[in-house]
Protein backbone atom coordinates (compact mmCIF):
# COMPACT_ATOMS: atom_id res chain seq x y z
CA UNK A 1 0.00 0.00 0.00
CA UNK A 2 2.99 2.31 -0.30
CA UNK A 3 2.37 3.13 -3.93
CA UNK A 4 1.48 6.78 -4.36
CA UNK A 5 -1.77 6.93 -6.21
CA UNK A 6 -4.12 9.50 -7.58
CA UNK A 7 -7.15 7.40 -6.87
CA UNK A 8 -8.65 5.34 -4.13
CA UNK A 9 -10.16 1.88 -4.47
CA UNK A 10 -13.77 1.57 -5.46
CA UNK A 11 -16.21 1.71 -2.54
CA UNK A 12 -13.41 2.57 -0.09
CA UNK A 13 -15.65 5.10 1.67
CA UNK A 14 -18.55 2.70 1.87
CA UNK A 15 -16.47 -0.18 3.19
CA UNK A 16 -14.69 1.94 5.77
CA UNK A 17 -17.96 3.56 6.82
CA UNK A 18 -19.31 0.19 7.95
CA UNK A 19 -16.18 -0.71 9.87
CA UNK A 20 -15.84 2.69 11.52
CA UNK A 21 -19.48 2.93 12.57
CA UNK A 22 -19.16 -0.49 14.21
CA UNK A 23 -15.95 0.55 15.95
CA UNK A 24 -17.32 3.85 17.21
CA UNK A 25 -20.50 2.15 18.40
CA UNK A 26 -18.13 0.23 20.66
CA UNK A 27 -17.19 3.56 22.26
CA UNK A 28 -20.54 5.28 22.41
CA UNK A 29 -22.77 2.25 22.90
CA UNK A 30 -25.58 0.99 20.63
CA UNK A 31 -27.95 3.61 22.06
CA UNK A 32 -25.84 6.20 20.28
CA UNK A 33 -25.41 4.63 16.84
CA UNK A 34 -26.46 8.00 15.45
CA UNK A 35 -23.50 9.76 17.06
CA UNK A 36 -21.18 7.12 15.61
CA UNK A 37 -22.72 7.60 12.16
CA UNK A 38 -22.43 11.39 12.35
CA UNK A 39 -18.76 11.22 13.29
CA UNK A 40 -17.95 8.81 10.47
CA UNK A 41 -19.84 10.98 7.99
CA UNK A 42 -17.81 13.95 9.17
CA UNK A 43 -14.61 11.93 8.83
CA UNK A 44 -15.35 11.13 5.20
CA UNK A 45 -16.15 14.78 4.41
CA UNK A 46 -12.87 15.78 6.06
CA UNK A 47 -11.11 13.27 3.82
CA UNK A 48 -12.66 14.83 0.72
CA UNK A 49 -11.32 18.19 1.84
CA UNK A 50 -7.79 17.01 2.68
CA UNK A 51 -7.22 14.44 -0.02
CA UNK A 52 -8.89 16.50 -2.70
CA UNK A 53 -6.67 19.54 -2.43
CA UNK A 54 -3.53 17.71 -1.34
CA UNK A 55 -2.26 14.18 -1.57
CA UNK A 56 -4.08 10.97 -0.95
CA UNK A 57 -2.29 9.41 2.04
CA UNK A 58 -0.27 6.23 1.53
CA UNK A 59 -2.60 4.39 3.82
CA UNK A 60 -6.07 5.92 3.34
CA UNK A 61 -7.73 3.46 5.70
CA UNK A 62 -5.27 4.24 8.48
CA UNK A 63 -5.83 7.95 7.93
CA UNK A 64 -9.60 7.55 8.24
CA UNK A 65 -9.20 5.50 11.41
CA UNK A 66 -6.92 8.14 12.98
CA UNK A 67 -9.25 11.03 12.13
CA UNK A 68 -12.37 9.17 13.27
CA UNK A 69 -10.63 8.30 16.52
CA UNK A 70 -9.64 11.92 17.14
CA UNK A 71 -13.13 13.12 16.42
CA UNK A 72 -14.57 10.45 18.71
CA UNK A 73 -12.30 11.47 21.57
CA UNK A 74 -13.26 15.12 21.06
CA UNK A 75 -16.90 14.14 21.16
CA UNK A 76 -16.32 12.28 24.41
CA UNK A 77 -14.68 15.34 25.96
CA UNK A 78 -17.44 17.60 24.71
CA UNK A 79 -20.05 15.29 26.15
CA UNK A 80 -18.31 15.05 29.48
CA UNK A 81 -18.40 18.83 29.64
CA UNK A 82 -22.06 18.81 28.78
CA UNK A 83 -22.71 16.12 31.36
CA UNK A 84 -21.21 18.21 34.14
CA UNK A 85 -23.37 21.11 32.95
CA UNK A 86 -26.62 19.23 32.53
CA UNK A 87 -26.12 16.19 34.79
CA UNK A 88 -27.44 13.95 32.09
CA UNK A 89 -25.67 10.67 31.41
CA UNK A 90 -25.73 10.65 27.64
CA UNK A 91 -22.91 8.23 26.96
CA UNK A 92 -22.68 4.72 28.24
CA UNK A 93 -18.93 4.10 27.76
CA UNK A 94 -17.12 7.38 28.24
CA UNK A 95 -13.65 5.95 28.74
CA UNK A 96 -10.78 7.47 26.72
CA UNK A 97 -8.32 4.65 27.33
CA UNK A 98 -10.78 2.01 26.29
CA UNK A 99 -11.48 4.09 23.21
CA UNK A 100 -7.85 3.96 22.09
CA UNK A 101 -7.51 0.18 22.14
CA UNK A 102 -10.77 -0.20 20.31
CA UNK A 103 -9.16 0.91 17.05
CA UNK A 104 -6.74 -2.03 16.81
CA UNK A 105 -7.34 -4.21 13.79
CA UNK A 106 -8.66 -7.27 15.62
CA UNK A 107 -10.97 -5.06 17.56
CA UNK A 108 -12.40 -3.62 14.36
CA UNK A 109 -13.40 -7.10 13.15
CA UNK A 110 -14.74 -7.82 16.60
CA UNK A 111 -16.81 -4.63 16.58
CA UNK A 112 -18.37 -5.63 13.30
CA UNK A 113 -19.45 -8.95 14.80
CA UNK A 114 -20.98 -7.16 17.78
CA UNK A 115 -22.69 -4.83 15.38
CA UNK A 116 -24.13 -7.77 13.43
CA UNK A 117 -25.58 -9.19 16.65
CA UNK A 118 -27.00 -5.78 17.55
CA UNK A 119 -28.56 -5.17 14.13
CA UNK A 120 -29.94 -8.71 14.08
CA UNK A 121 -31.29 -8.60 17.60
CA UNK A 122 -34.52 -10.61 17.92
CA UNK A 123 -36.27 -7.63 19.53
CA UNK A 124 -36.18 -5.80 16.17
CA UNK A 125 -38.47 -6.89 13.37
CA UNK A 126 -36.81 -8.40 10.28
CA UNK A 127 -37.51 -5.35 8.11
CA UNK A 128 -35.77 -3.05 10.60
CA UNK A 129 -32.90 -5.52 11.01
CA UNK A 130 -32.23 -5.50 7.28
CA UNK A 131 -32.52 -1.73 6.89
CA UNK A 132 -30.24 -1.09 9.88
CA UNK A 133 -27.68 -3.65 8.71
CA UNK A 134 -27.50 -2.07 5.26
CA UNK A 135 -27.28 1.45 6.62
CA UNK A 136 -24.71 0.91 9.37
CA UNK A 137 -22.70 -2.22 8.54
CA UNK A 138 -22.75 -1.97 4.76
CA UNK A 139 -22.57 1.83 4.47
CA UNK A 140 -25.51 2.22 2.10
CA UNK A 141 -27.26 5.60 2.06
CA UNK A 142 -30.99 5.84 2.78
CA UNK A 143 -31.68 6.33 -0.92
CA UNK A 144 -29.61 3.29 -1.81
CA UNK A 145 -31.24 1.13 0.86
CA UNK A 146 -34.64 2.19 -0.47
CA UNK A 147 -33.76 1.34 -4.03
CA UNK A 148 -32.21 -1.99 -3.05
CA UNK A 149 -35.32 -2.95 -1.08
CA UNK A 150 -37.73 -1.52 -3.67
CA UNK A 151 -39.36 0.92 -1.31
CA UNK A 152 -39.34 4.64 -0.53
CA UNK A 153 -36.83 6.71 1.40
CA UNK A 154 -39.44 7.73 3.94
CA UNK A 155 -40.26 4.08 4.63
CA UNK A 156 -36.59 3.33 5.21
CA UNK A 157 -36.20 6.40 7.43
CA UNK A 158 -39.12 5.18 9.53
CA UNK A 159 -37.65 1.69 9.84
CA UNK A 160 -34.27 3.07 10.87
CA UNK A 161 -35.84 5.42 13.37
CA UNK A 162 -37.89 2.61 14.87
CA UNK A 163 -34.85 0.34 15.07
CA UNK A 164 -32.69 2.94 16.78
CA UNK A 165 -35.43 3.90 19.22
CA UNK A 166 -36.01 0.28 20.06
CA UNK A 167 -32.29 -0.33 20.64
CA UNK A 168 -32.18 2.67 22.99
CA UNK A 169 -35.34 1.78 24.84
CA UNK A 170 -34.36 -1.81 25.48
CA UNK A 171 -30.78 -0.71 26.18
CA UNK A 172 -29.31 -3.49 24.04
CA UNK A 173 -25.75 -4.49 24.96
CA UNK A 174 -22.93 -4.34 22.41
CA UNK A 175 -21.50 -7.80 22.83
CA UNK A 176 -21.14 -11.25 21.37
CA UNK A 177 -23.59 -13.58 23.10
CA UNK A 178 -22.20 -16.55 25.01
CA UNK A 179 -23.21 -20.08 25.90
CA UNK A 180 -26.76 -21.14 25.27
CA UNK A 181 -27.85 -17.72 24.12
CA UNK A 182 -25.26 -17.74 21.35
CA UNK A 183 -26.88 -20.61 19.51
CA UNK A 184 -30.27 -18.96 19.46
CA UNK A 185 -28.86 -15.59 18.45
CA UNK A 186 -26.86 -17.15 15.62
CA UNK A 187 -30.11 -18.50 14.22
CA UNK A 188 -31.53 -14.97 14.05
CA UNK A 189 -28.34 -13.69 12.42
CA UNK A 190 -28.51 -16.50 9.83
CA UNK A 191 -32.12 -15.69 9.06
CA UNK A 192 -31.48 -11.96 8.70
CA UNK A 193 -28.49 -12.50 6.41
CA UNK A 194 -30.53 -15.03 4.42
CA UNK A 195 -33.37 -12.52 4.00
CA UNK A 196 -30.93 -9.74 3.15
CA UNK A 197 -29.38 -11.94 0.50
CA UNK A 198 -32.76 -12.87 -0.93
CA UNK A 199 -33.70 -9.22 -1.22
CA UNK A 200 -30.76 -8.84 -3.54
CA UNK A 201 -31.12 -12.10 -5.36
CA UNK A 202 -34.77 -12.85 -5.80
CA UNK A 203 -36.04 -9.77 -7.49
CA UNK A 204 -35.04 -8.90 -11.02
CA UNK A 205 -35.51 -5.16 -10.69
CA UNK A 206 -33.95 -2.92 -13.29
CA UNK A 207 -31.16 -1.68 -11.06
CA UNK A 208 -29.34 -4.98 -10.88
CA UNK A 209 -25.99 -3.40 -9.94
CA UNK A 210 -27.06 -2.37 -6.45
CA UNK A 211 -28.85 -5.67 -5.95
CA UNK A 212 -25.69 -7.61 -6.71
CA UNK A 213 -23.86 -5.44 -4.19
CA UNK A 214 -26.50 -6.43 -1.68
CA UNK A 215 -25.65 -10.08 -2.33
CA UNK A 216 -21.92 -9.41 -2.03
CA UNK A 217 -22.43 -7.57 1.26
CA UNK A 218 -24.47 -10.50 2.61
CA UNK A 219 -21.56 -12.77 1.64
CA UNK A 220 -19.04 -10.46 3.32
CA UNK A 221 -20.96 -10.37 6.61
CA UNK A 222 -21.64 -14.10 6.50
CA UNK A 223 -17.93 -14.73 5.91
CA UNK A 224 -17.08 -12.59 8.96
CA UNK A 225 -19.39 -14.79 11.02
CA UNK A 226 -18.06 -18.06 9.55
CA UNK A 227 -14.46 -17.04 10.29
CA UNK A 228 -15.34 -16.45 13.91
CA UNK A 229 -17.81 -19.27 14.51
CA UNK A 230 -16.09 -22.02 12.53
CA UNK A 231 -18.01 -24.79 14.23
CA UNK A 232 -21.40 -23.47 13.31
CA UNK A 233 -22.49 -25.63 10.38
CA UNK A 234 -25.54 -23.55 9.62
CA UNK A 235 -23.44 -20.48 8.89
CA UNK A 236 -21.16 -22.44 6.55
CA UNK A 237 -24.16 -23.88 4.73
CA UNK A 238 -25.68 -20.42 4.39
CA UNK A 239 -22.43 -19.03 3.01
CA UNK A 240 -22.24 -21.92 0.52
CA UNK A 241 -25.78 -21.18 -0.60
CA UNK A 242 -24.95 -17.51 -1.14
CA UNK A 243 -21.83 -18.38 -3.15
CA UNK A 244 -23.72 -20.76 -5.47
CA UNK A 245 -26.51 -18.28 -6.16
CA UNK A 246 -24.21 -15.31 -6.66
CA UNK A 247 -22.11 -17.37 -9.08
CA UNK A 248 -25.12 -17.38 -11.41
CA UNK A 249 -26.08 -13.75 -10.88
CA UNK A 250 -24.82 -12.31 -14.16
CA UNK A 251 -26.12 -15.14 -16.32
CA UNK A 252 -29.72 -14.44 -15.31
CA UNK A 253 -30.13 -11.19 -17.18
CA UNK A 254 -29.13 -10.24 -20.72
CA UNK A 255 -27.46 -7.00 -21.82
CA UNK A 256 -30.82 -5.27 -22.11
CA UNK A 257 -31.96 -6.29 -18.63
CA UNK A 258 -34.31 -9.03 -19.88
CA UNK A 259 -34.69 -12.26 -17.92
CA UNK A 260 -32.93 -15.38 -19.15
CA UNK A 261 -34.64 -18.52 -17.90
CA UNK A 262 -32.52 -20.99 -15.99
CA UNK A 263 -32.61 -23.57 -18.78
CA UNK A 264 -31.39 -21.02 -21.33
CA UNK A 265 -28.54 -19.60 -19.26
CA UNK A 266 -25.01 -19.62 -20.65
CA UNK A 267 -23.24 -21.78 -18.08
CA UNK A 268 -19.86 -20.47 -19.11
CA UNK A 269 -20.93 -17.17 -17.52
CA UNK A 270 -21.25 -18.79 -14.12
CA UNK A 271 -18.48 -17.78 -11.77
CA UNK A 272 -16.44 -20.94 -11.16
CA UNK A 273 -14.41 -19.33 -8.39
CA UNK A 274 -17.56 -18.72 -6.37
CA UNK A 275 -18.85 -22.21 -7.15
CA UNK A 276 -15.62 -23.73 -5.85
CA UNK A 277 -15.78 -21.58 -2.74
CA UNK A 278 -19.37 -22.69 -2.26
CA UNK A 279 -18.31 -26.34 -2.50
CA UNK A 280 -15.64 -25.78 0.16
CA UNK A 281 -18.10 -24.27 2.59
CA UNK A 282 -20.73 -26.88 1.80
CA UNK A 283 -18.23 -29.61 2.66
CA UNK A 284 -17.30 -27.84 5.86
CA UNK A 285 -20.95 -27.64 6.82
CA UNK A 286 -21.56 -31.34 6.28
CA UNK A 287 -20.28 -33.13 9.34
CA UNK A 288 -23.02 -32.74 11.84
CA UNK A 289 -26.12 -34.75 12.64
CA UNK A 290 -28.59 -31.93 12.42
CA UNK A 291 -29.48 -30.74 8.96
CA UNK A 292 -30.78 -27.21 8.44
CA UNK A 293 -32.85 -25.80 5.61
CA UNK A 294 -29.72 -23.89 4.56
CA UNK A 295 -27.90 -27.20 4.05
CA UNK A 296 -30.60 -28.49 1.76
CA UNK A 297 -30.98 -25.28 -0.18
CA UNK A 298 -27.21 -25.14 -0.63
CA UNK A 299 -27.19 -28.78 -1.77
CA UNK A 300 -29.89 -28.06 -4.34
CA UNK A 301 -27.95 -25.07 -5.64
CA UNK A 302 -24.80 -27.23 -5.72
CA UNK A 303 -26.56 -29.87 -7.84
CA UNK A 304 -27.47 -27.18 -10.36
CA UNK A 305 -24.00 -25.70 -10.35
CA UNK A 306 -22.30 -29.06 -10.86
CA UNK A 307 -24.51 -30.15 -13.76
CA UNK A 308 -22.68 -29.75 -17.07
CA UNK A 309 -25.89 -28.82 -18.85
CA UNK A 310 -29.55 -28.28 -18.07
CA UNK A 311 -30.37 -31.65 -19.66
CA UNK A 312 -27.86 -33.58 -17.59
CA UNK A 313 -29.17 -32.20 -14.27
CA UNK A 314 -29.81 -34.88 -11.66
CA UNK A 315 -33.50 -34.11 -11.23
CA UNK A 316 -34.12 -37.17 -9.07
CA UNK A 317 -31.64 -35.96 -6.44
CA UNK A 318 -33.01 -32.43 -6.59
CA UNK A 319 -36.55 -33.73 -6.20
CA UNK A 320 -35.51 -35.70 -3.12
CA UNK A 321 -33.79 -32.68 -1.64
CA UNK A 322 -36.89 -30.54 -2.15
CA UNK A 323 -39.02 -33.18 -0.46
CA UNK A 324 -36.65 -33.09 2.49
CA UNK A 325 -36.79 -29.31 2.52
CA UNK A 326 -40.58 -29.40 2.51
CA UNK A 327 -40.47 -31.49 5.69
CA UNK A 328 -38.12 -29.12 7.51
CA UNK A 329 -39.58 -25.87 6.24
CA UNK A 330 -43.13 -26.38 4.94
CA UNK A 331 -43.81 -23.70 2.38
CA UNK A 332 -46.14 -23.66 -0.65
CA UNK A 333 -43.37 -22.31 -2.91
CA UNK A 334 -41.48 -25.56 -2.34
CA UNK A 335 -44.61 -27.36 -3.53
CA UNK A 336 -44.44 -25.29 -6.68
CA UNK A 337 -40.80 -26.23 -7.21
CA UNK A 338 -41.61 -29.91 -6.65
CA UNK A 339 -44.40 -29.73 -9.21
CA UNK A 340 -42.07 -28.13 -11.76
CA UNK A 341 -39.36 -30.75 -11.22
CA UNK A 342 -42.03 -33.43 -11.68
CA UNK A 343 -42.11 -32.39 -15.33
CA UNK A 344 -38.51 -33.59 -15.67
CA UNK A 345 -39.32 -36.94 -14.07
CA UNK A 346 -42.78 -37.83 -15.38
CA UNK A 347 -43.46 -35.30 -18.10
CA UNK A 348 -45.19 -31.96 -18.40
CA UNK A 349 -48.72 -33.29 -18.18
CA UNK A 350 -48.13 -34.93 -14.82
CA UNK A 351 -46.67 -31.65 -13.66
CA UNK A 352 -49.68 -29.65 -14.87
CA UNK A 353 -52.00 -31.83 -12.76
CA UNK A 354 -49.94 -30.97 -9.67
CA UNK A 355 -49.88 -27.28 -10.57
CA UNK A 356 -53.63 -27.23 -10.96
CA UNK A 357 -53.97 -28.68 -7.47
CA UNK A 358 -51.60 -26.06 -6.10
CA UNK A 359 -53.67 -23.25 -7.60
CA UNK A 360 -56.36 -24.07 -5.02
CA UNK A 361 -53.89 -23.29 -2.25
CA UNK A 362 -54.82 -19.92 -0.76
CA UNK A 363 -51.18 -18.99 -0.16
CA UNK A 364 -50.43 -19.23 -3.87
CA UNK A 365 -53.55 -17.41 -5.11
CA UNK A 366 -51.63 -14.20 -5.73
CA UNK A 367 -48.31 -15.70 -6.71
CA UNK A 368 -47.70 -14.81 -10.36
CA UNK A 369 -45.12 -17.51 -11.01
CA UNK A 370 -47.73 -20.26 -10.66
CA UNK A 371 -49.93 -19.22 -13.62
CA UNK A 372 -46.78 -18.14 -15.46
CA UNK A 373 -45.43 -21.69 -15.16
CA UNK A 374 -48.77 -23.15 -16.22
CA UNK A 375 -48.70 -20.86 -19.24
CA UNK A 376 -45.18 -21.84 -20.28
CA UNK A 377 -45.89 -25.56 -19.83
CA UNK A 378 -49.03 -25.31 -21.96
CA UNK A 379 -46.95 -23.55 -24.60
CA UNK A 380 -44.57 -26.48 -24.63
CA UNK A 381 -47.55 -28.75 -25.24
CA UNK A 382 -48.59 -26.37 -28.05
CA UNK A 383 -51.87 -25.57 -26.29
CA UNK A 384 -51.54 -21.91 -27.11
CA UNK A 385 -55.00 -20.66 -26.22
CA UNK A 386 -54.82 -22.19 -22.76
CA UNK A 387 -51.31 -20.80 -22.39
CA UNK A 388 -52.50 -17.26 -23.15
CA UNK A 389 -55.20 -17.49 -20.49
CA UNK A 390 -52.65 -18.47 -17.85
CA UNK A 391 -50.08 -15.92 -18.93
CA UNK A 392 -52.65 -13.15 -18.81
CA UNK A 393 -53.62 -14.24 -15.33
CA UNK A 394 -49.95 -13.98 -14.34
CA UNK A 395 -49.80 -10.44 -15.73
CA UNK A 396 -52.73 -9.41 -13.55
CA UNK A 397 -50.79 -10.44 -10.44
CA UNK A 398 -48.26 -7.62 -10.87
CA UNK A 399 -44.97 -9.32 -11.68
CA UNK A 400 -41.76 -7.28 -11.70
CA UNK A 401 -41.01 -5.12 -14.72
CA UNK A 402 -38.60 -7.61 -16.30
CA UNK A 403 -41.00 -10.49 -15.67
CA UNK A 404 -43.82 -8.45 -17.13
CA UNK A 405 -41.82 -7.96 -20.34
CA UNK A 406 -41.00 -11.63 -20.51
CA UNK A 407 -44.59 -12.77 -20.09
CA UNK A 408 -45.83 -10.28 -22.67
CA UNK A 409 -43.29 -11.57 -25.17
CA UNK A 410 -44.49 -15.11 -24.53
CA UNK A 411 -48.13 -14.11 -25.13
CA UNK A 412 -47.13 -12.61 -28.48
CA UNK A 413 -45.34 -15.82 -29.36
CA UNK A 414 -48.46 -17.83 -28.52
CA UNK A 415 -50.60 -15.62 -30.71
CA UNK A 416 -48.24 -16.10 -33.65
CA UNK A 417 -48.16 -19.86 -33.23
CA UNK A 418 -51.82 -20.34 -32.43
CA UNK B 1 -4.89 38.71 -10.49
CA UNK B 2 -7.26 39.17 -7.61
CA UNK B 3 -8.01 36.86 -4.74
CA UNK B 4 -11.53 35.69 -4.07
CA UNK B 5 -13.09 33.89 -1.16
CA UNK B 6 -15.67 31.30 -2.15
CA UNK B 7 -17.93 30.89 0.88
CA UNK B 8 -19.86 27.61 0.95
CA UNK B 9 -23.17 27.63 2.79
CA UNK B 10 -25.46 24.80 3.77
CA UNK B 11 -25.07 21.21 4.99
CA UNK B 12 -25.18 19.46 1.64
CA UNK B 13 -22.70 16.68 2.23
CA UNK B 14 -24.16 15.56 5.53
CA UNK B 15 -26.90 13.74 3.67
CA UNK B 16 -24.84 11.98 1.01
CA UNK B 17 -24.09 8.27 1.18
CA UNK B 18 -20.47 7.07 1.37
CA UNK B 19 -20.56 6.08 -2.32
CA UNK B 20 -21.88 9.52 -3.26
CA UNK B 21 -19.23 11.18 -1.10
CA UNK B 22 -16.52 9.21 -2.84
CA UNK B 23 -17.92 10.41 -6.13
CA UNK B 24 -17.76 14.04 -4.96
CA UNK B 25 -14.19 13.41 -3.85
CA UNK B 26 -13.18 12.31 -7.36
CA UNK B 27 -14.80 15.37 -8.92
CA UNK B 28 -13.29 17.72 -6.37
CA UNK B 29 -9.78 16.35 -6.90
CA UNK B 30 -10.18 16.79 -10.65
CA UNK B 31 -11.46 20.36 -10.13
CA UNK B 32 -8.49 21.35 -7.96
CA UNK B 33 -6.20 19.77 -10.54
CA UNK B 34 -7.74 21.78 -13.35
CA UNK B 35 -7.50 25.05 -11.41
CA UNK B 36 -3.80 24.52 -10.82
CA UNK B 37 -2.17 27.68 -9.45
CA UNK B 38 -5.51 29.46 -9.29
CA UNK B 39 -6.46 27.32 -6.31
CA UNK B 40 -4.84 28.74 -3.19
CA UNK B 41 -6.51 27.16 -0.20
CA UNK B 42 -9.64 25.51 1.06
CA UNK B 43 -10.87 24.54 4.51
CA UNK B 44 -13.93 23.07 6.06
CA UNK B 45 -15.40 24.48 9.27
CA UNK B 46 -16.93 22.61 12.14
CA UNK B 47 -20.50 23.50 12.94
CA UNK B 48 -19.95 24.18 16.60
CA UNK B 49 -17.90 27.04 17.99
CA UNK B 50 -18.80 30.24 19.77
CA UNK B 51 -20.69 33.43 19.04
CA UNK B 52 -19.70 36.75 20.58
CA UNK B 53 -22.20 39.55 20.06
CA UNK B 54 -20.54 42.30 22.12
CA UNK B 55 -18.30 42.76 25.12
CA UNK B 56 -21.13 42.86 27.66
CA UNK B 57 -23.09 39.67 26.91
CA UNK B 58 -22.09 36.11 27.68
CA UNK B 59 -20.26 34.24 24.99
CA UNK B 60 -22.60 31.82 23.27
CA UNK B 61 -21.10 28.35 22.86
CA UNK B 62 -22.27 25.07 21.39
CA UNK B 63 -23.47 26.34 18.05
CA UNK B 64 -24.67 26.10 15.35
CA UNK B 65 -26.34 29.49 15.69
CA UNK B 66 -28.02 29.65 12.30
CA UNK B 67 -30.38 27.65 10.19
CA UNK B 68 -28.55 24.83 8.47
CA UNK B 69 -28.79 26.42 5.04
CA UNK B 70 -27.13 29.57 6.35
CA UNK B 71 -24.26 27.81 8.08
CA UNK B 72 -20.85 28.42 6.57
CA UNK B 73 -19.58 24.96 5.77
CA UNK B 74 -16.18 26.03 4.51
CA UNK B 75 -14.34 28.18 2.03
CA UNK B 76 -12.02 28.13 -0.94
CA UNK B 77 -9.47 30.82 -1.61
CA UNK B 78 -8.80 31.24 -5.32
CA UNK B 79 -7.11 33.60 -7.74
CA UNK B 80 -8.91 35.00 -10.73
CA UNK B 81 -8.61 37.79 -13.27
CA UNK B 82 -11.90 39.38 -12.28
CA UNK B 83 -15.24 38.71 -10.67
CA UNK B 84 -16.52 37.08 -13.82
CA UNK B 85 -13.78 34.50 -13.95
CA UNK B 86 -14.15 33.88 -10.21
CA UNK B 87 -17.87 33.28 -10.76
CA UNK B 88 -17.07 30.82 -13.54
CA UNK B 89 -14.67 28.94 -11.30
CA UNK B 90 -17.30 28.75 -8.56
CA UNK B 91 -19.88 27.57 -11.09
CA UNK B 92 -17.61 24.71 -12.17
CA UNK B 93 -17.11 23.51 -8.58
CA UNK B 94 -18.60 20.10 -7.73
CA UNK B 95 -19.64 21.62 -4.41
CA UNK B 96 -22.16 23.87 -6.11
CA UNK B 97 -25.56 22.26 -5.81
CA UNK B 98 -24.63 20.67 -2.52
CA UNK B 99 -23.86 24.13 -1.15
CA UNK B 100 -24.70 27.68 -2.11
CA UNK B 101 -21.55 29.60 -2.93
CA UNK B 102 -20.90 33.25 -2.25
CA UNK B 103 -18.04 34.66 -4.35
CA UNK B 104 -16.42 37.63 -2.63
CA UNK B 105 -13.32 39.52 -3.73
CA UNK B 106 -10.70 40.05 -1.05
CA UNK B 107 -10.35 43.81 -0.39
CA UNK B 108 -6.96 45.51 -0.61
CA UNK B 109 -5.15 43.18 -2.95
CA UNK B 110 -1.56 42.36 -2.08
CA UNK B 111 0.93 44.86 -3.44
CA UNK B 112 3.31 42.94 -5.63
In a domain, B112, yes or no: no
Q: How far apart are CA A220 and CA A239, in angstroms?
A: 9
Q: Tell me the residue range of the domain where B98 lies.
A: 2-24+33-105
Alpha-carbon A71 to chain mean position: 32
- Please say if the pLDDT value at position A62 is more than 70: yes
Instruction: Please report which confidence band the pLDDT of residue A154 belongs to, taking 50, 70 and 90 as the band edges.
Output: very high
pLDDT recorded at residue A1: 38
Interface test with B, best of A17, A46, A53, A86 (most B CBs within 10 A): A53
Q: How far apart are CA A174 and CA A25, in angstroms?
A: 8
Question: Is A160 in contact with A135 (CB distance < 8 Å)?
Answer: yes
- Beta strand B39-44 with B72-80: parallel, antiparallel or unpaired? antiparallel
Sheet containing strand B2-9, edge to edge, reads B39-44, B72-80, B2-9, B100-105
pLDDT recorded at residue B109: 62
For chain B, the C-alpha Rg in angstroms (whole number) is 16
- Please say if the pLDDT value at position A263 is more than 60: yes
**Predicted ipTM of the assembly:** 0.90
Nearest to B18 among A49, A51, A139 (CB): A139
- By mean pLDDT, which of A12-26, A59-73, A78-92 is the weakest? A78-92
Residue B21 near chain A (CB below 8 Å): yes
Q: How far apart are CA A216 and CA A196, in angstroms?
A: 10
- Range A37-43, long-range pairs (CB < 8 A, 24+ positions): A37/A135, A37/A136, A39/A68, A39/A71, A39/A72, A39/A75, A40/A68, A41/B13, A41/B14, A42/A71, A43/A67, A43/A68, A43/A71
In a domain, B93, yes or no: yes
- What digits encode the pLDDT tens for the residues A93-152? 445 666 667 677 778 888 999 999 999 999 999 999 999 999 999 999 999 888 888 789
Are A45 and B44 inside 8 Å of each other by CB?
yes
Chain A residue with Cα closest to B20: A141
Q: How far apart are CA A283 and CA A186, in angstroms?
A: 20
Q: How far apart are CA A265 and CA A376, in angstroms?
A: 17
Query: C-alpha distances in angstroms, A65 versus A68, A188, B23?
Result: 5, 30, 20
pLDDT recorded at residue B12: 87
Are B18 and A17 inside 8 Å of each other by CB?
yes
pLDDT recorded at residue A89: 44
Q: How far apart are CA A303 and CA A222, in angstroms?
A: 22
- Please say if the pLDDT value at position A348 is more than 90: yes
In a domain, B110, yes or no: no
Count Cβ neighbours within 10 Å for each residue of A57-80 and write b for 16 or more, e otherwise: beebbebbbebbbebbeebbeebe
- What digits encode the pLDDT tens for the residues B57-102? 888 887 677 777 888 999 999 999 999 999 999 999 999 999 999 9
Total count of domains within chain B: 1
The pTM score is 0.85
Chain B residue with Cα closest to A41: B14
Q: How far apart are CA A386 and CA A397, in angstroms?
A: 18
For residue B97, the tally of other CB atoms under 10 A from its CB is 11
Instruction: Please report which confidence band the pLDDT of residue A240 belongs to, taking 50, 70 and 90 as the band edges.
Output: very high
- What digits encode the pLDDT tens for the residues A181-207? 999 999 999 999 998 998 888 765 556
Within 30-59 of B, beta carbons closer than 8 Å to A belong to: 31-32, 39, 41-44, 48
In a domain, B7, yes or no: yes
In a domain, B63, yes or no: yes
pLDDT recorded at residue A100: 66
Count Cβ neighbours within 10 Å for each residue of A292-313 and write b for 16 or more, e otherwise: bbbbbbbbbbbbbbeeeeeeeb
Provide the CATH number for the domain around residue B47: 3.30.70.1060
More confidently predicted of A391 and A256: A391
In a domain, B61, yes or no: yes
Within 58-97 of B, beta carbons closer than 8 Å to A belong to: 62, 74
- What digits encode the pLDDT tens for the residues B21-63? 999 999 999 999 999 999 999 999 988 888 888 888 888 887 6
- Residues forming beta bridges with residue B78, ordered by sequence position: B4, B39
In a domain, B87, yes or no: yes
**What's the mean per-residue pLDDT of chain A?**
88
Interface test with B, best of A15, A17, A39, A45 (most B CBs within 10 A): A45
- What digits encode the pLDDT tens for the residues A286-322? 876 778 999 999 999 999 999 989 989 999 999 999 9
In a domain, B91, yes or no: yes
Are B29 and A6 inside 8 Å of each other by CB?
yes
Amino acid sequence: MTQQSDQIVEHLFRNEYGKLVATLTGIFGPSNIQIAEDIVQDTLITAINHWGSGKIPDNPTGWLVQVAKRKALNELKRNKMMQTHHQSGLLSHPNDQEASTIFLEDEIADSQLRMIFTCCHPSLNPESQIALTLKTLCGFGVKEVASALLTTESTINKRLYRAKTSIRNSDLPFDIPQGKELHMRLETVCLTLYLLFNEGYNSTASDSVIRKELCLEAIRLCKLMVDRFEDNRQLSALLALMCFHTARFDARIDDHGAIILFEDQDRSKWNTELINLGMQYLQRSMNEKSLSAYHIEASIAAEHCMAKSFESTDWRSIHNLYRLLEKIKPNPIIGLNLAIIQSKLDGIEASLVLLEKLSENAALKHYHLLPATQGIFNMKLQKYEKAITYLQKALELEPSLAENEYIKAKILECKKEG
Amino acid sequence: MKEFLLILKGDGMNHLSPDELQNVFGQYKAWVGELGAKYLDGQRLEENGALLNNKEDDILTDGPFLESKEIIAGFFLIQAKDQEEANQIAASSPHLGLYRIEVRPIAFPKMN
